[in-house]
């Protein structure tokens, strides 16, 4: 996408401080096969060519995010799920008829493999902050039933998986 296309399709909100300004673009992202909001934080204005160059570059990286990444994304979400259900006592899960909490949690969430975990994790948005100009990254933010308080944030840095929180 060009700078002009991005500006025309997006909404810029200046909160009187560049550190709190936002630019939002709701576009179809091929990797997710649907429209997803892309939120950009720290954009001082639409006329700053260095910031807009970074914004355009990152938006296009997001649009080109390869389907080849699906396998590792699925595995990382699965690992997150396994860690959560092994370390969390969910108050709404009945453990009585199970040998342990992990088995009860799997049945409660109906997630038994990596494919199930990926299907149940819902992408909410993609975001990045322009105040980190030297960092070539963006975050994938997911909602998931096993971690409904915080969800999952997956950081993609230089086109590769970097971290999950």
Tens-place pLDDT, residues 52-99: 999 999 999 999 999 999 999 999 999 999 999 999 999 899 989 999
Domain membership flag for residue 149:
no
Domain membership flag for residue 35:
yes
How many distinct structural domains can be found in the chain? 1
From edge to edge, which strands make up the β-sheet containing 10-13? 10-13, 22-29, 34-41, 122-129, 137-143, 152-157, 160-164
pLDDT of residue 18: 58
Domain membership flag for residue 109:
no
Domain membership flag for residue 157:
no
Domain membership flag for residue 96:
no
Q: Give tens-digit pLDDT for 92-135.
A: 999 899 999 999 999 999 999 999 999 999 999 999 999 898 89
Q: Which band of pLDDT confidence, cut at 50, 70 and 90, is reported for residue 153?
A: very high
Domain membership flag for residue 113:
no
Domain residue limits at 64: 3-69+122-140
Domain membership flag for residue 101:
no
Domain membership flag for residue 29:
yes
């Amino acid at each position: 996408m060009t700078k002009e296309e991005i500006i025309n399709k997006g909404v810029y909100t200046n909160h009187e401080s560049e550190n709190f300004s936002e630019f939002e673009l709701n576009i179809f992202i091929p990797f997710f096969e649907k429209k997803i909001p892309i939120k950009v934080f720290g954009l001082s204005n639409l006329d700053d060519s260095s910031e807009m160059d970074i914004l355009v570059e990152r938006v296009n990286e997001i649009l080109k995010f390869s389907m080849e990444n699906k396998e590792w994304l699925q595995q990382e979400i699965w690992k997150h799920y396994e860690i959560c259900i092994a370390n969390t006592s969910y108050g709404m899960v009945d453990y009585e008829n199970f040998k342990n909490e992990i088995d009860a949690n799997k049945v409660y969430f109906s997630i038994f493999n990596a494919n199930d975990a990926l299907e149940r994790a819902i992408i909410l948005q993609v975001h990045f902050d322009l105040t980190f100009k030297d960092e070539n990254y963006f975050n994938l933010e997911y909602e998931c039933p096993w971690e409904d308080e915080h969800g999952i944030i997956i950081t993609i840095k230089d086109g590769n998986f970097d971290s999950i929180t």
